[in-house]
Structure 1
């Protein structure tokens, strides 16, 4: 949904939130109706241990309760609109199971029309279930974003401000064993890059300019920002990048290894609106195309072929799983290690009556034309 207007994203994600919360509450109620024995006998002496069924039920119950708690916190932010001048909230992204710990992008104020936007990225152990939990004197992720909105508004009187809590990556769960690794940031950088480019596109469409955006990270969030910065701007020859992306698209088609019809338009360069410096326009080469004309079994096989082949062809797979749409389409996201070209591929199964197809987009990182 990157690049779509905030109003459209909010409407769609609020519908998903309401539907998902209802489903989780029904599942929790069903789970609470019966409880297996907590202990079971072990051996002839009558020793006792926790039963596996009881442990599985406990873990499932805690997980459901945590997800529901997070969804209630999001609804609570909706309900606080107007209190102390707090602006309308926009749910720009939501998936209770996304990236393992849940996916939430929640804005205070409309980022499409804001003069100033601040993106706040929490650090290690961030989770949907704890998004509204204070840690002693440390405010919750949602409260930090709200305080940032109030303070930013105070410093920019007469101007529109939007602050965003961004939980859309798989952050480390353990400060000591996981956080020292840059792997999580490498995987998350393409997602943040894509969000920022989409946000700029939506802002440009709504206002005619890109606005001013600041990205703030807490703890490991700052590591993610650093890795994302590597995916932006350097001098390139645009025609060389067009050829580069075109060749990579051809290799993706080969790796799919299925016979079907593909759409014809090739890659092209377009402004990515990464800067106010109009003297040297920042560009990105994009190549959106589709593969169709074969059955769902063949498309599924193509997804598996590509997933298996990408690592051997210089790509790092950053996601392979269901997207957050109602149809839970299978999605692949990857980054070409040498060129930083990004790949997004989604298997649209045609459950809504449309033709089944693979929707593929490759795009380069932003660059400036060589002088």
Structure 2
């Protein structure tokens, strides 16, 4: 039983810090294990006798328990961080109840019991009695939420401790990994495995499990975190090899710049994963090939009331991920500020080859290529969600808006609402073709966003500039279809305060508030401007 004073004095930040400490322990164990493997390989390579082979085999035999322990540390971080979030929401519910008490002439004692203010008499006292009942029920709901989270956390830690006591799994699951199966089938397969079988897969098949839509987010996060150090080390070795090879100087410099960018992106992701403050981040995928791809959630989508997936546009890649992580964080923070009683997870989905240059962004091929992966990801979020379905929103910015619109029209998207900001068109002229009621298709373009002046052809743009050099106007038809903010498109339009093409996420911009309100669900739509 959680008491009123206990919840009032609870410190969610302390639980988050405890979780982060376990994560740091996992990172340290992973680094030491990797170093042991490197040393053993060096010994075996330098000595071809039996002793060298035995040394390598000995390290391999001891590596599994280390990897399993690291997995347990990451899972402990998840459990404690999730409890911190639950406490924060329960405290927000309690604070809202307390704030409503004074204006309604309701007093609350140290045990959380409510009663009308003693100064209230007559008809006003009847109203105060009714208000006291409402406030008391709200306090009870907050205490119940905290108590439920307390029980769930204790049970999860108990299962984790029992698994460690029994010894970590040493054999693979009896049923094979599903290849090419839809997320809902993957989810059923995963649910049919024992906890020991799931842990074996995360330890021994992390690259596969970590990218498998339909596997719960917590398991994917554990698998992908375990790969980070090795992925960065591989880039370091690749860069050293590129420097040593006799390739032309320009090619060597280009390769080095790309690899340094990828390492910088991994460092930015790692820093967000390790931060002890704010909502915990979950790594759903990281691929350091080409320009690099990453999928990262702020808050666990499987346990959230609302999930917003953000698809960035041109120039988005792993090396430049800091800006997109910042936007994802800003959306999560604003939604939490507007309604702290709801749990909102925001996801950066950069799992496609976004155009790097304008000559690539002039064509819709990258958006079409991204469609199957984005469709599958959204289906996976639906399949793995705990409890009633979340309010699921997909947001596309710039070329990402074309990617979202094209996917919704051609593949279908498991989404309740779509948001387009700074769109060069979304691949269709009418909101009704996107698979959702037009009232759930939203768009915004700032008055000074140059994307609004991209006509369907260079000739018309050049003609406008020639004929009206001081009076450029936004076009009804943009490069990839009708402007989604135009009335004939048929969707909803919200405020995009001046901020250019990238200012929609700046603090104080009405667009940031509106995107967060849409993510929070229909009860907040009336506040969207």
Mapping of 1:129-140 within 5 angstroms? 129-132=319-322, 140=323
Q: CA-to-partner distance for each residue in 1:338-371, whole Å, 9 max, x for gaps?
A: xxxxxxxxxxxxxxxxxxxxxxxxxxxxxxxxxx
CA distance in 2, matches of 1:183, 1:14: 32
Secondary structure at the counterpart of residue 224 of structure 1: helix
CA distance in 2, matches of 1:117, 1:166: 12
Query: Quick one: which of 161, 170, 182 aligns to 2:344?
Result: 161
Indicate how the Cα distance of structure 1 residues 61 and 110 shifts in structure 2: closer, same or farther if over 3 A, else same: same
Higher relative helix content: 2
Query: Quick one: which of 187, 202, 209 aligns to 2:369?
Result: 187
Q: Residue in 2 aligned with 1:150? A: 333
Indicate how the Cα distance of structure 1 residues 20 and 111 shifts in structure 2: closer, same or farther if over 3 A, else same: same
Q: Residue in 1 aligned with 2:500? A: none
CA distance in 1, matches of 2:291, 2:272: 20
Q: Residue in 1 aligned with 2:309? A: 119
Q: Residue in 2 aligned with 1:73? A: 268
Indicate how the Cα distance of structure 1 residues 212 and 102 shifts in structure 2: closer, same or farther if over 3 A, else same: same
Q: What is the CA-CA distance between 1:27 and the residue it aligns to?
A: 3.3
CA distance in 1, matches of 2:259, 2:251: 12
Q: Residue in 1 aligned with 2:384? A: 202
Q: Residue in 2 aligned with 1:4? A: 215
1:26 aligned onto 2:237: yes
Q: What is the CA-CA distance between 1:19 and the residue it aligns to?
A: 1.1
Q: Residue in 2 aligned with 1:136? A: none
Indicate how the Cα distance of structure 1 residues 172 and 55 shifts in structure 2: closer, same or farther if over 3 A, else same: same
Q: What is the CA-CA distance between 1:216 and the residue it aligns to?
A: 1.0
Q: What is the CA-CA distance between 1:161 and the residue it aligns to?
A: 1.2
Query: Quick one: which of 282, 288, 293 aligns to 1:103?
Result: 293
Query: Quick one: which of 285, 291, 312 aligns to 1:93?
Result: 285
Q: Residue in 2 aligned with 1:344? A: none
Q: Unaligned stretches of 5+ in structure 1?
A: 37-51, 133-139, 234-271, 277-281, 283-371
Mapping of 1:59-70 within 5 angstroms? 59-70=254-265
Q: CA-to-partner distance for each residue in 1:77-110, whole Å, 9 max, x for gaps?
A: 112241xxx211100011111xx32110001000
The TM-score with structure 1 as length reference comes to 0.52
CA distance in 1, matches of 2:311, 2:285: 14
Q: Residue in 1 aligned with 2:401? A: 222
Mapping of 1:1-371 within 5 angstroms? 1-29=212-240, 31=242, 53-82=248-277, 86-97=278-289, 100-132=290-322, 140-175=323-358, 177-203=359-385, 206-207=386-387, 209-231=388-410
Which consecutive segments of 4 or more residues in structure 1 shift more than 6 A?
A: 272-276
RMSD (Å), alpha carbons: 2.3
Q: Unaligned stretches of 5+ in structure 2?
A: 1-211, 418-434, 436-529
CA distance in 1, matches of 2:345, 2:329: 10
Indicate how the Cα distance of structure 1 residues 273 and 173 shifts in structure 2: closer, same or farther if over 3 A, else same: closer
Q: CA-to-partner distance for each residue in 1:90-143, whole Å, 9 max, x for gaps?
A: 00011111xx321100010000000011111110111111111xxxxxxx1110
RCO greater where, 1 or 2, for CA within 8 Å and sep 6 or more? 1
CA distance in 1, matches of 2:365, 2:352: 12
Q: CA-to-partner distance for each residue in 1:40-71, whole Å, 9 max, x for gaps?
A: xxxxxxxxxxxx53222212211211111110
The TM-score with structure 2 as length reference comes to 0.37
Contact 2:394 2:415 in 1 (8 A): no
Q: What is the CA-CA distance between 1:29 and the residue it aligns to?
A: 4.3
CA distance in 1, matches of 2:245, 2:223: 36
CA distance in 1, matches of 2:398, 2:335: 21
Q: Residue in 1 aligned with 2:196? A: none
CA distance in 1, matches of 2:404, 2:351: 13
Q: What is the CA-CA distance between 1:178 and the residue it aligns to?
A: 2.0
Indicate how the Cα distance of structure 1 residues 81 and 145 shifts in structure 2: closer, same or farther if over 3 A, else same: farther
Q: What is the CA-CA distance between 1:275 and the residue it aligns to?
A: 6.5
Q: Residue in 2 aligned with 1:293? A: none
Q: What is the CA-CA distance between 1:35 and the residue it aligns to?
A: 8.2
Which one has a bigger Cα radius of gyration? 2
